[in-house]
Structure 1
Amino acid sequence: MSDGLLGAAILSAAELEAGLLAWREAVLGDPQARWDSRRDLAYWQHAAEHFEEYRQPIPHTIAAVQAQLRPAWSLLDVGAGTGRFTRPLAPFVRQITALDYSADMLAVLVAAGLPAHVRVWQRDFHAPDIPPHDAVLAAWALYRSPDLRADVERLWGLARHLLLVLEDNGLPSPHVAWKRRANPAPRLPYPRTALIAGILHERAQVSVLEIREQRVEEYPSLEALLARHKVDASQSGEFLAYLSPYLAQSGAGVRYTFEAVNTLVVAQR
């Protein structure tokens, strides 16, 4: 459920600039170099076919986004992918444009079938021919953006009334935290949503919502869980001990349950 407004103050100008620099360094230092469009598109080409199989439901997050929209509005879903938001939000707006630059991800969306008021565009959101929409949603779409200020301002320029930017809270899930224990990722001084809110606050009415989702993964055996998370047999005991607070028997199998926290930046004209 949504826990309401976060209490963190807007970053000062100096904090914002330091945070944006740290973020740029993190993006350009990505060992997979996802900032490179060719590498990123190759990733999505590989992932698209099975992407839907591994997605967890996010009902509270979708409800929080829906609550911000109006029936008469048009919605631009930036980085729409296979339709995680496009499909459930379609009944609640007049028109949706599902925008993504990966043809492979959009092919999955189209194959599922769409109502007539949903249009699908294969474009990068920087493309000059994208018209303004009443509301713009960018859900986890800025992961490869070294110039976060320019890209947030681009999104804001596409929104007539409302910009919604959704990110997680920057804290890894338990299995990811275990994998990072030996080589932790560099810690950013501020969450990405704090940077986004800082960019927008001088030109918009900005609020940040925190939304909690329960993640549940079911496996027929511990071996299946280890295989899913690609844990070597020599490390299986340590991995399972680390995850033990989150594991429970489920019939003949095992259930892995943990909490994820998403944050939604809401900017209104």
Structure 2
Amino acid sequence: MPKAAAPAGVTVTPVGAVIGAEVQGIDLSGDLERGVRAWIRDAVIEHGVLVFRGQDLDAPRFHDFAGGFGPLQHHVLRKYRHKDFPGLSWLTNVEADGSVDRFGVTRATSWHTDGTYTDDPPAIGILHALETPSKGAGTLFVSMKAAYAALTDGERTRIAPLVGLHRHGGGPGGGMYDNSLDEDQAEGHSDVRHPAVRPHPASGEPVLYVNPTHVRSFEGMKPEDSVPLVLELVDKATRRDVVYHHNWRPGDLLMWDEHSTMHRGEGAYDPAERRVMLRAIVQRCTRA
């Protein structure tokens, strides 16, 4: 598929050594032409992460923006779903009564890729910052295309036949999610199979599809043999020199390619400082 042309007046500046780019010249709060949306979709796939500064979207406008790319996935943690827009959710450390949500402080601070515990993993993640702590509340991203490319031939041969068994919070880094789902949610007690290396749905490039939050084992291997391999692969993928560390400011909006990236929250901020973000997950890009 040919890439969409960049809109007039738009600039794209790399922000990380391997992953991430800042886009200037687009106001995301208005009605975007289909061609602009198509360009954004392509740029997300190309750069892995897109950063838009100085945006101002309330929940209805954020819902319109995110939903303009395709159907939105309802968040698996029902508590955090937006009451008026169930396709949106809150990433926050603030309870409804204004007190500190302790789980909200530590949630999503282990490396993960969203929705790998589903048969049809999502396409794009979107976060819009409304209130941010003064420090320690960043988000870290890595490219799992680059992670696969950096493996040796021997390592690629070793993992080529492996199939990961994914379950919500079932991996060695998923302990924070214990008892976070309702009893009727299959994501917490059923495995979903995904190959450890899979082609990107749009580009066809090989992607290392392993994360420590949701991969509990490899098919045909005992967990005690699988877990060290999961952690070894993640350690190689998250070397300091390949990580893009985004320090949030109010008005930031980030989009990332769920098919080719892994991320985690920094989780090192003062819980007394408010962190309030709107989140959307595009299931598949059908409208851009």
TM-score (norm 2): 0.24
TM-score (norm 1): 0.25
Q: Which has the higher contact order (CA 8 A, sep 6+)?
A: 2
Structure with the greater alpha carbon radius of gyration: 1
